[in-house]
Amino acid sequence: MRGRSAVGVSLRHPDGSIVSASEPLNSILHRNRFARAPFFRGLVLLYETLVIGTRWLMRSGSVQAEGEGQELGKGTIALTLIVTLVMAIGLFVLLPLFLAGVTTRAAVGPGQTLLEHLVEGVIRVVIFVGYLLLVSRFGDIQRTFQYHGAEHMTIHALEHEDPLTVESIRKYPTAHQRCGTEFLVIFIILSILMFSLLAGQNLWVSIVGRVALVPVIAALAYELLRFGARYRHHWWIRWLYLPGIWLQAITTKQPDDSMIEVAIASMREALAANGEEAPAGSLDPVRRPIPTRVAEEPAGSATDQAG
């Protein structure tokens, strides 16, 4: 769970207990005076989500294998981030470009730049949705999506100032208007529009241009995400952002009670680290610090935009 100045993390230990930690958000980017400026703040949040999120996903694996696990160094985390980014750009940015070029040239011949761009956009959407449907079939990912739903439901309860209990959280949906899934939907739609500026360019200009536009699109997507969340009470805004809610039917699932307890513990850690209080009557799950050998270095939280 991400707050304004700190994150809170809770994990279910293999022995069934809950272990927790918190970390201040004090990276060089976060301390920068532009950290809250429009457009720049989206890049800061993206960086923190990637770096802190990856670190905690890997450290949670260390907790699960505590008996034999080893602490993962900064080099391993950095390498994982680089490989992940390269794969993501290759799968969702470059692969659609190549497939669109091959299919349109085979069907109608060269020179159909507008048609090629539209085909590229359709292929990108199909790959993205297909990827989510595929990975959601794996047991570990299904479990992750359940925790994702627990996170959103807990945030809903906090925003409505309801006590953070399993019973009160259960009445809220798993979808949330500031979810990272909705951010990705906006990102893909913007990429289709902005990559049209590169239509008709040679292959290398198209590749370099698409990679260079990724942070620009990410910054714009975050601002549109904030806008949509702020004005969701307007019917036309709700309708406009519906695809992001629909897609969360894949990326969020109904959690069990034990998962909601972990989400509450994480929220309590985040609130305490940010100097805030949970609503009266909230559950305060029993938890202990994350084992020392897993949390020797400052650690962060796997979070999406809803945090």
Q: 226 in a domain, yes or no? A: yes
Q: For residues 222 and 219, give the distance between their C-alpha atoms in angstroms, rounded to a whole number.
A: 5
Arithmetic mean of pLDDT, 222-239: 92
Q: For residues 225 and 156, give the distance between their C-alpha atoms in angstroms, rounded to a whole number.
A: 17
pLDDT digits (tens, 9 = 90+) for 142-186: 999 999 999 999 999 999 999 999 999 999 999 999 898 999 999
pLDDT of residue 111: 56
Q: Give the model's confidence band at 11: pLDDT under 50 very low, under 70 low, under 90 confident, else very high.
A: very high
Name residue 137's amino acid: R
Q: For residues 171 and 169, give the distance between their C-alpha atoms in angstroms, rounded to a whole number.
A: 6
* Residue 301 in this model has a pLDDT that exceeds 60: no
pLDDT of residue 89: 85
pLDDT of residue 295: 41
Average pLDDT, the chain: 85
pLDDT of residue 45: 81
pLDDT digits (tens, 9 = 90+) for 111-129: 567 788 888 889 999 999 9
Q: 296 in a domain, yes or no? A: no
Which domain range does residue 16 map to? 6-289
Q: Give the residue among 13, 20, 22 at the shortest CA–CA distance from 300.
A: 22
* Residue 224 in this model has a pLDDT that exceeds 90: yes
Q: What is the DSSP string of 172-229?
A: S-S--TT-HHHHHHHHHHHHHHHGGGGTT--HHHHHHHHHHHHHHHHHHHHHHHHHHH
Q: 236 in a domain, yes or no? A: yes
Q: Give the model's confidence band at 92: pLDDT under 50 very low, under 70 low, under 90 confident, else very high.
A: confident
Q: 62 in a domain, yes or no? A: yes
Q: 294 in a domain, yes or no? A: no
Name residue 199's amino acid: A
pLDDT of residue 83: 86
The full length of the chain comes to: 307
Q: Token pair 């297909």 is at which residue? A: 130
Q: Give the model's confidence band at 278: pLDDT under 50 very low, under 70 low, under 90 confident, else very high.
A: very high
Listed range (3-7, 54-58, 227-231, 250-254) with the worst mean pLDDT: 54-58
> Which DSSP letter does residue 11 get?
E
Q: Give the residue among 87, 24, 35 at the shortest CA–CA distance from 222.
A: 35
Q: Give the residue among 130, 138, 136, 131 at the shortest CA–CA distance from 149.
A: 136
Q: 228 in a domain, yes or no? A: yes
Q: 299 in a domain, yes or no? A: no
pLDDT of residue 216: 92
Arithmetic mean of pLDDT, 232-245: 92
pLDDT of residue 239: 94
Q: When comparing pLDDT for 227 and 3, which is higher?
A: 227
Arithmetic mean of pLDDT, 229-240: 91
Name residue 282's amino acid: S
* Residue 247 in this model has a pLDDT that exceeds 60: yes
pLDDT of residue 102: 85
Question: Which range has highest mean pLDDT (30-39, 102-111, 146-155, 178-187)?
Answer: 146-155
Domains identified in the chain, total number: 1
Listed range (89-103, 154-168, 293-307) with the worst mean pLDDT: 293-307
* Residue 70 in this model has a pLDDT that exceeds 90: no
Name residue 16's amino acid: G
What percent of the chain has a predicted confidence (pLDDT) above 70? 89
Q: 304 in a domain, yes or no? A: no
